[in-house]
Amino acid sequence: MKPSLEHLGNRSLFLSVVMPTHNEEGSVESVIQEHVAILSQLPEAVTDWEIVVVDDGSDDDTPEILDRLAARLPRLRVVKHPVNQGLFRAFDDAHRAAKGTHVFATASDGQWPAANLVRMLERMLQTDADLVVGVRPHREEVYTPWRRFVSHCYQLLPRLLFGVQTQDAGSVKLGRRELFQCKFISHSPFVEAERIIRALRAGCRVEFVPIEFLPRSSGKAGGAKLSYIIASLRDSLRCFWTYRLRRTNQNPIYTRADDHDESSLP
């Protein structure tokens, strides 16, 4: 079923689907093809779309697979890092390469079915949301005990430090491009929590939608690395100092009162 266009008004969407990849030769092709199939069936309100993939220094067959796909898929753009620069830089470069009015940030590991985009787009159009966050209801069935513990702590920090329920900050997101291309304090996985915190502080409407999340069929997960955990803790404290103690909002995102005037963007 196509998303409802009742609340879209006279606006139209140019949708950028962005995803980083690193050594995902077993899944990246099927993930891209699955998203192409979904994007090709979106409603008339989505006037244009693209897929932006950032290869973060893969040393398997991922670069060759991407080159082959880009040669036959004109709406696929590939950005390559000559060496691995980490998840934050890969996502940041993907967001900044996006040309659309809206961004759907997902992954290339096959755990996030492309059908989630339809569900999230429907909620965005129905509620006029600025940002929609996918919530994984059954993470405990997919994650190891250690990963569940890390995820629980990651969700707890924004609530304790900022009084904000991010619900599933590290999940897939759909929203206005400005919310992905502004400058953040965090340079770690905590940036996804900061994105939600900043959006709420700016008066943006944030919606949370249950989505499907699958076990990995190939590749190796790296989201719970000790270095990521330490960096996220550091960034959470830096954000607390800036937003709560100093009560400032560096590079403010637009608010609804601005009517998305570009002069208010970072």
**b/e 28-57 (16+ beta carbons within 10 angstroms → b):** bbebbebbbebbeebeebbeebbbbbbbbb
In this model, does residue 255 exceed pLDDT 60?
no
Higher-pLDDT residue of 146 and 173 is 173
Closest CA to 204 of 182, 185, 235: 182
CB atoms closer than 10 angstroms to residue 207: 17
Tokens 């909002």 label which residue? 249
Mean of the per-residue pLDDT values of the chain = 86
Instruction: From residue 246, give the alpha-carbon distance in Å to each of 108, 132, 230, 243.
Output: 38, 28, 23, 6
Asked if residue 98 lies in contact with residue 92, where contact means CB atoms within 8 angstroms, the answer is: no
CA-CA-CA-CA dihedral for 104, 42, 98, 215, to nearest 10: 40
In a 3-state reduction of DSSP, which class is residue 125? Answer: helix
**Longest Cα separation, the chain:** 52
Give the DSSP H or E segment for 14.
Answer: strand 13-21
Long-range contacts of 7-13 (CB under 8 A, 24+ apart): 7/125, 7/126, 7/127, 7/128, 8/45, 8/125, 11/45, 12/45, 12/46, 12/47, 12/101, 13/45, 13/46, 13/47, 13/100, 13/101, 13/102
Q: What are phi and psi of 147, to 5 degrees?
A: -65, -35
Q: Interhelix angle for 28-39 vs 62-72, to 10°?
A: 30
Per-residue pLDDT of 190-230, as tens digits, reads: 999 999 999 998 999 999 999 999 886 655 555 567 888 89
Q: Which residues contact 255 (CB under 8 A, 6 or more apart)?
A: 202, 203, 204, 264
- pLDDT tens per residue, range 74-93: 999 999 999 999 999 999 99
- Beta carbons within 10 angstroms of residue 83's beta carbon: 7
Model pLDDT for residues 14-68, shown as the tens digit of each residue = 999 999 999 999 999 999 999 999 999 887 778 899 999 999 999 999 999 999 9
Q: Which domains does the chain have, with CATH numbers?
A: 13-255 (3.90.550.10)
Q: The pTM is what?
A: 0.85
Length of the chain: 266
* Angstrom distance (rounded) from CA 157 to CA 150: 11
Q: Can you list the positions of beta strands (E) in 120-182?
A: 131-135, 173-176
